[in-house]
Amino acid sequence: MDIQTIAVEQLKAAKYNPRKDLKPGDTEFEKLKRSIEEFGFVE
């Protein structure tokens, strides 16, 4: 095993990563916001 230490700035997100950078006004953001307001959330 080869372990290397690299700077965080060198990391690149995987293209297959399903996470999105949602912003207010985006359809999915608004749906998620309404759901949390209606049903709450669990930590």
Question: pLDDT tens digits for 3-22?
Answer: 999 999 999 888 888 887 88
d(CA 21, CA 7): 22
Could you tell me the pTM of the whole model? 0.52
Number of domains in the chain: 1
Q: Which domain holds residue 20?
A: 8-39
Q: What percent of the chain has pLDDT over 90?
A: 67
Backbone angles phi, psi at 33, to 5 degrees: -60, -45
3, part of any domain: no
Question: 38: which 2 tokens?
Answer: 């209606």
2, part of any domain: no
Which pLDDT score, from 0 to 100, does residue 14 have? Answer: 87
